[in-house]
Each structure stands twice: as C-alpha cells, then as structure tokens.
C-alpha cells in the first residue's frame, strides 16, 4: 500500500497520546508472535505485517510444524522463533516477542491468552474473545494479574469508514440516531477447514453469530455509543442442513437502547457475503454497504433526499490494528478495544442465544458496562 | 415523460390478458373521479393523468369548493363534474365516471368506497384501505354485493424496480431469500396539514405504521411471495413529543415466514426520508435504496462480492396504477392489488399494534390468506 518502511510513516494522533513512550524507541518496532496459522493468519494477518509500521512479526506458534516452517521462511521469521502449542510457554524467555496475537479457534482463545499473559506478554486476541462469559472474565483477570495489556481485535474500531460513520453520528449532523440495522453473513461450508470449527458449537461458541453477527452487535454499540438494555432474538435453522446440526443458522435480533433507538440485526451462515449496516437518524441517514469487508467498503450519506458516497481512505485494516496494539504497548496510544469491550459482546451473544432458546423471550442486558474509550474520539487514521 | 397521448401507447401485456375488452373501446379512456384533493392528489395523482394512457380524469370530489373549482380548471374537468361530500352519491347518474379513486384520510376510505360501490362505480382506494379490519371487510363485501372492482393503490406492485426485484428473487438467481429488511419513514410535522390527520390515531389508524410502515409490510410479502405466520414488535415513542400523543413513533417488527425467512422492518415519523429495503439470499442479495420513492429509486444486485446497479425504466407510478385500474375495468388486466391483499395488511398492522400494546408479545398471523395474483407474474412495464 506504499506506506513506507516500518516506523517511517506518520501517525496522526491526538496530542494527549503523543507523549514520549516508555516502550521501544521510535522505529524499533514491537515484536509479535502470531498463534494459529489458519486462513485468517495466512490471508490477512501475516501479509498485514508488510504494511505495518511498528508491529513486527517475530515469531509463529502452530500445531503444524511444516506449515510454520514454510510461513516462517516466507515472512522472515527466525527458525528458533517457531513454537508449538506444547512448548508455547517458553515464549517467556524470548525477548523478540512483546505481543502475542491469538488467531486460534474461539474455544482456544482463553487458554492461549492466559498462557501468554502468564509468560509476561501483551495479548491481541481475535473476536469473539472466548466462547463463554466465564472464559472472557478469566482472561481479563489474567491480564490484570499480569499487569499486561489485553486488546480484542475489533478492526472496525480502527478503520476509516467505520470511524467516519461514528464521527458523523456523534457530530449531530444527521440528527439523532433512531435505528441501526445490521446484516452480517456469508455461506459457510463443511468442506472448508476454516469453517468446520465455526460450525461446531463447542469450538465456535455460536456459529454465524460468533463469526459474523458479532460485527453487527458491536457495530450497533459503537455507532450509537450506548449499550442495549434489552434483547430478543428469533432463529430460523434447518436442522436437516448438515452445517447446522449444532449451531443456529439465521438469527434475527432486536436491541432496545435507552436513548430511544432500536437495532435490528441479523446473521446467517446461509447468506451470500454481506457485512452491511444502515443508521436511520432524524435528519439524515448513512449506509455502509459493504461496511466491514477487508476492502472495497462504501459509505453513503443521505441528508434530505440527496445522497453522496463518501471518500474513504482505504487501509490495511490488520496492519492498522497491529500498529495500534504496538502503540498501546509503547505507551503511545490508549487501549480502545479492551477486554471489557469484548466481554460485553460475549454477554450480548449469550443473551441472544438465551432468547432463542426461550423461544424469543426478552432478555435484560443491563449489565452496567460503559465503554471506557470511544474510538471516534481517539483513533486517528494514518495519512 | 413523453409517453404520448392517452391510449396511443403500447402496453406490454401477457397474451392471457390481451383478450378483447368488454369495456370501452381502445383509446376511449376510462373516466376517473378523484375524491380528496390533498397534497397527494395535487402533487402526484392529478398530474399523473397527463402521463396516463387509458385513465382519464373526469370528475373531482372535495369538501373545499374553491380548491375543487381551481383544480377542475387546471386539469380540464367540467364544472358540473365537481361533487361535494354531501352530493357525492349523485355520481350514480354521471356516466363520465367509471372509477372512483379514494385519496381521503384513511378513516374516510370505507365510507366513500362503499358509497361509490353502491353508486355502481369501481373503486381504486389508497392504502391503507381502512383504519380497521372490520371496515376493510365491509369494503370487500360491498364490492362483491355491487359486482364492482375494488383495487388498493399499491403502486409498488406496478413499478419497474419493485417488479425487477420480485422477478429476480422468483428466478432463483440469487438463491433462496432468507432475510428481508425494510426501513420506511420520514419526518412528520404538526404544522403540515397533510400530517395532522396522519398523527391522529382515529383518522390514520396508526401513524407512521399506516402511512409508511405499510410499504415494508407489503414489501416483505411481495418480495418473498409468502405470508408471515408470526409477528412481534417493539415501539420507542416519546410521548412528550406533541406529534406522538396518540400514535406510536418508531416501531420495529419481526415477521417469521414458513419458508425459513425472517423480515425485520421499521417505521418512524422521526426519520429522515427513507424507503429502503434489502433482501439477503443464499447466493446473492439485492438492495433497493431508495426503493419506493416516487422517483430516483435505485436497485443494486450483488452476487459473490460483485455488485451492480440495475438499469430501471422510470415511470410515472401513479399513471401506471391508474392505467392498470382502467385495464381491469376494461377486462384487459387482472385485478392484482385486491381488497383481500389490502385486508391482509390491515390484519398485519393490527397484529403489530397488538404486539406493541402487549409489550412485544408474539402474535399469530396465520390468517390463511394467499395472494391470488403474483404481480411478478402478470404485470408488465410500459415500454
């Protein structure tokens, strides 16, 4: 993407967070170990280090030695920086690793996050952060006990289109938001190894809801910058479809917000690819369609009867969030997508599945969580 | 729109309905009386006769003699073809009138429809057809008793974008539809006379739901070509807003369909103008945004990750539905948007309001209605 060598670029950042760092000197880079070398790692995360400016790939952790060796060669990782799931705890003695990025199946997040924290490393963990509220709470407790950072990889919190959408809503130019509608889904396939575990309830924690729907749950919250107090959900799942023996397929939920807004969301592993949302406000509306693909996203803003596609600076979203994590570690950026932020989504996903299990009953979600840091207020986008 | 003089154009129509007419000879035109001369009549319907080919404006019915006289002069209606609400029943003796188009506040639809039918006239009635299920049933019974046609003015049933959307879904090219999402709303104002009655529960039958939400209710049904078996709805209404002392403001509902699809709809009189929908299917998706404005509608179809805006032939939607009604009367077209079709929406709106009143309870909507005529199968679009 032509962003120059690591550390050479300019990060637009608010003065409050531009104070001198306690971490590595400018340009040195923060070492990352990537744990789990599936499709997401191979397709997005490892290539993302090419565009990253401060996050530096220094180690790999995998259950497949051949794959790890091949990828280490491809990405310039030292042979002795390849770890297995068994000898993973030895990272404690590896000064090349400051951050561990957890890209494993969801059910393994808690264990590998806690082991990394115990080894004194900071953790960037893919979402959903776990497969249960209890695991998520244990991860947060482990980070506190170890005095290390735990960031959940909500890439949309650092991405220009979504930041533009949040800021436009916060600005009041569209009036008051009343309705958020999110559609998040794709076709999952049992013949795709990356989907086999996502169709397993124990490994995924919730099928499409955990894989795709979470973008809509989190999206409604960051678009409105408030938390829902009630949720209810219906599912439509064909149990004869071998993909959906354990997990729900289509789930459509409703969130009620204290401000007077409602969010209607849906997710399915039987959709053509969609990650779209729209926000209906009193004086205007915005449509992000697609709004959370890796690239090619499009934001349309309508005021009155006029609509206009916004110019959005497209970035490597994975490089961006890894650089943000590097800056958190260096003391140059606040932790935005915290463990508590991830825990809130875990609670909301559980509430949605509880509602489905109870035939669509209304479930209270007044958990008392308030986001500590509004991404719209602190995250700037690389020039 | 350059469609030529009345009766001179070519209507593409399937052979089954191209049989010789029992009605007036080709080119003669079918006479319409418009009842109610508010903003919709003045802004859309009366001007629509300029583009109509077989529907001909021949009479006006109004409670405001000055307005009626002015509009009669403007649109070439004879002075002695102006009726008041009091002498309205005299249309029985006026051979210039074959169809009465009811454009009154919703609560007046039943009375003026039934009086027209009793006078031996066919009726085209704006939607919602009434303010209660009982009134809708009485209108249908009156049409049967009089052996006259009753058509509800669902302009989207006759409009190219919506027909293209229906046909694309019926074709199977997008796979199976799983989710329909509809947003229908605008800002209503107590300082606008056209909105004052729409914010009155007795006159409107349901505020935004009756005025705008009905497009989403009917839309979900014609897009999926099936009927919901369950509905539930939440409202968020600020009773301190003087607009919403009687009617609900924001309503968000869910319909469950037997095929395995769900529809999430919302409506509000506190939205910036929006009439949009999207359909998530297993092999593709479509987005109509806007999908039901009088003009400027836009249909985007996505298959895989590629999306494309469809070329849609824009027409005068009011001319189109009036011409269709004229063809129904002439025996040249089937009745598509029947009274029963309108009654089904009345039942569904009642179910939504019942659900809101019961705090969001699930309400059965298994009314046993099946659409007699699928617009996608019979309605063609003028060249």
Q: pLDDT tens digits for B271-321?
A: 999 999 999 999 999 999 999 999 999 999 999 889 999 999 999 999 999
Q: What is the CA radius of gyration of chain A?
A: 20
Contact A179 B183 (CB under 8 A): yes
Q: What is the DSSP string of A273-302?
A: EEEEEEEEESSEEEEETTSSSSS---EEEE
Report the percent of chain B where pLDDT is more than 90. Answer: 91
| Token pair belonging to B288 | 């109509």
- Tracing tokens 């950042």 back to the chain, one arrives at A13
- Which pLDDT score, from 0 to 100, does residue A383 have? 66
SS3 B230: strand
Chain A residues near residue B256 by CB distance under 8 angstroms: 234, 236
Contact A181 B181 (CB under 8 A): yes
Asked if the domains at A15-155 and A160-313+339-378 fall in one CATH topology, the answer is no
Contact partners, residue B144, CB within 8 Å, separation at least 6: none
Beta-ladder partners of B232: B254
- Which pLDDT score, from 0 to 100, does residue A65 have? 95
Confidence of residue B380 (pLDDT cuts 50, 70, 90): confident
Q: Kind and range of the H or E element at B300?
A: strand B299-303
Q: What is the DSSP string of A5-51?
A: STTTS-----GGG-SPPSSSPTTS-EEEEEE--SHHIIIIIHHHHHH
Q: CA of B305, closest CA in chain A: separation in Å? A: 7
Question: How many residue contacts between A and B have a Cβ separation below 8 Å?
Answer: 137
Task: For chain A, list residues with pLDDT below 50.
Answer: 1-25
Q: Kind and range of the H or E element at A219?
A: helix A214-224
Chain B residues near residue A181 by CB distance under 8 angstroms: 181, 183, 264, 266
Residue (of A302, A308, A261) closest to B272 by Cα position: A302
CATH 3.40.50.720 fits A15-155, yes or no: yes
Longest dimension (CA), chain A: 61
B370 close to B54: Cβ distance less than 8 angstroms:
no
Contact partners, residue A142, CB within 8 Å, separation at least 6: A113, A114, A117, A118, A150
Q: What's the rounded Cα separation, in Å, for the pair A60 and A84?
A: 8
- Which pLDDT score, from 0 to 100, does residue A25 have? 45
Task: Give residue limits of the domains in chain B.
Answer: 15-155, 160-312+339-378
Residue (of B132, B119, B67, B123) closest to B93 by Cα position: B119
Chain A residues near residue B238 by CB distance under 8 angstroms: 260
Q: What's the rounded Cα separation, in Å, for the pair B204 and B201?
A: 5
Kindly state the average pLDDT of the residues B170-192: 98
- The CATH fold assigned to A160-313+339-378 is Dihydrodipicolinate Reductase; domain 2 (3.30.360)
Residue A274: half-sphere exposure toward Cβ, Cα within 13 Å: 33
Confidence of residue B382 (pLDDT cuts 50, 70, 90): confident
- Tracing tokens 């309870």 back to the chain, one arrives at B361
- Tell me: pLDDT of B5 over 90: no
Kindly state the average pLDDT of the residues B40-63: 97
B220 close to B263: Cβ distance less than 8 angstroms:
yes
A23 close to A29: Cβ distance less than 8 angstroms:
no
| Chain A CA closest to residue B187 | A282
Average pLDDT taken over every residue of chain B: 92
**DSSP 8-state class, residue A21:** P
Q: Which of A254, A266, A272 sits opposite B175 (nearest CB)?
A: A272
Length of chain A: 383
- Which pLDDT score, from 0 to 100, does residue B27 have? 55
Q: C-alpha distances in angstroms, A51 versus A24, A39, A44, A212, B116?
A: 19, 19, 11, 25, 72
List pLDDT tens digits, range A327-352.
999 999 999 999 999 999 999 999 99
Residue (of B115, B106, B57, B103) closest to B82 by Cα position: B57
| Token pair belonging to A33 | 């170990």
Q: What's the rounded Cα separation, in Å, for the pair A221 and A224?
A: 5
- Which pLDDT score, from 0 to 100, does residue A328 have? 98
Residue A330: half-sphere exposure toward Cβ, Cα within 13 Å: 25
- Tell me: pLDDT of B16 over 50: no
Burial class (CB in 10 A: 0-12, 13-18, 19+), A214: buried
Q: CA of B271, closest CA in chain A: separation in Å? A: 4
Q: What's the rounded Cα separation, in Å, for the pair B339 and B369?
A: 12
Residues of B tagged active-site: 127, 215
Contact partners, residue A242, CB within 8 Å, separation at least 6: A190
Q: What is the CA radius of gyration of chain B?
A: 20
- Tell me: pLDDT of B13 over 60: no
Identified catalytic residue from A88, A215, A222, A271: A215
- Tell me: pLDDT of B11 over 60: no
- The answer to whether the Cα torsion of A318, A379, A263, A289 is positive or negative is negative
- Which pLDDT score, from 0 to 100, does residue B10 have? 21
| Token pair belonging to B179 | 């989710």
Report the percent of chain B where pLDDT is more than 70. Answer: 93
- Which pLDDT score, from 0 to 100, does residue A16 have? 29
Q: What's the rounded Cα separation, in Å, for the pair A69 and A66?
A: 5
Contact A234 B250 (CB under 8 A): no
| Token pair belonging to A100 | 């561990």
B237 close to B250: Cβ distance less than 8 angstroms:
yes
Q: CA of A43, closest CA in chain B: separation in Å? A: 17
Cα-flanking dihedrals φ and ψ of residue A79, to 5°?
-55, -40
Identify whether A215 is a catalytic site residue.
yes
Question: What angle (nearest 5°) sits at the alpha carbon of residue A104, between those of residues A90 and A243?
Answer: 155
- The CATH fold assigned to B160-312+339-378 is Dihydrodipicolinate Reductase; domain 2 (3.30.360)
- Which pLDDT score, from 0 to 100, does residue A18 have? 31
- Which pLDDT score, from 0 to 100, does residue B383 have? 66
List pLDDT tens digits, range B325-364.
999 999 999 999 999 999 999 999 999 999 999 999 999 9
Count CB-CB contacts under 10 A for residue A77: 22
Q: What is the DSSP string of B182-202?
A: EEEEEE--TTSHHHHGGGSHH
Residue (of A262, A9, A83) closest to B183 by Cα position: A262
ipTM of the shown complex: 0.91
A142 close to A239: Cβ distance less than 8 angstroms:
no
- The answer to whether the Cα torsion of B330, B336, B338, B340 is positive or negative is positive
Query: Strand B82-83 and strand B285-288: pairing?
Result: unpaired
Q: C-alpha distances in angstroms, B361 versus A232, B240, B319?
A: 11, 25, 41
């Amino acid at each position: 993407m032509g962003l120059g060598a690591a550390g050479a670029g300019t990060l637009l950042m608010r003065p409050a967070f531009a104070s001198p760092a306690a971490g590595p000197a400018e340009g040195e880079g923060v070492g990352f170990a990537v744990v789990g070398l599936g499709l997401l790692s191979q397709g997005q995360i490892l290539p993302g280090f090419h565009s990253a400016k401060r996050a530096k790939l220094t180690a790999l952790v995998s259950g497949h030695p051949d794959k790890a060796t091949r990828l280490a060669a491809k990405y310039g990782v030292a042979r002795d920086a390849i770890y297995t799931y068994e000898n993973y705890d030895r990272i404690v003695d590896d000064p090349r690793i400051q951050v561990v990025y957890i890209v494993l199946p969801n059910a393994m997040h808690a264990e590998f996050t806690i082991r990394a924290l115990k080894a004194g490393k900071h953790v960037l963990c893919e979402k959903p952060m776990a497969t249960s509220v209890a695991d998520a709470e244990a991860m947060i407790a482990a980070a506190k006990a170890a005095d290390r950072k735990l960031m959940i990889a909500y890439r949309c919190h650092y991405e220009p289109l979504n930041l533009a959408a949040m800021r436009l809503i916060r600005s009041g130019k569209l009036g008051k938001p009343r309705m958020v509608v999110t559609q998040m889904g794709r076709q999952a396939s049992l013949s795709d190894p990356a989907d086999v575990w996502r169709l397993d309830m124990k490994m995924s924690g919730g099928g499409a809801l955990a894989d795709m729907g979470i973008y809509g749950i989190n999206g409604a919250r960051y678009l409105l910058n408030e938390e829902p107090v009630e949720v209810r959900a219906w599912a439509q799942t064909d149990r004869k479809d071998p993909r959906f023996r354990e997990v729900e397929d289509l789930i459509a939920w409703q969130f009620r917000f204290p401000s007077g807004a409602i969010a209607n969301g849906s997710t399915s592993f039987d959709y053509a690819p969609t990650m779209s949302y729209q926000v209906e406000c009193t004086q205007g509306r915005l449509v992000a369609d697609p709004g959370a693909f890796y690239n090619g996203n499009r934001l349309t803003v309508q005021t009155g009867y006029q609509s206009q596609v916004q110019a959005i600076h497209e970035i490597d979203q994975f490089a961006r969030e890894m650089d943000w994590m590097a800056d958190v570690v260096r003391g140059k950026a606040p932790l935005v997508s915290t463990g508590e932020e991830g825990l809130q989504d875990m609670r909301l996903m559980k509430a949605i599945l509880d509602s489905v299990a109870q035939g669509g009953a209304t479930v209270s979600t007044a958990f008392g969580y308030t986001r500590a840091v509004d991404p719209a207020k602190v995250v700037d986008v690389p020039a």
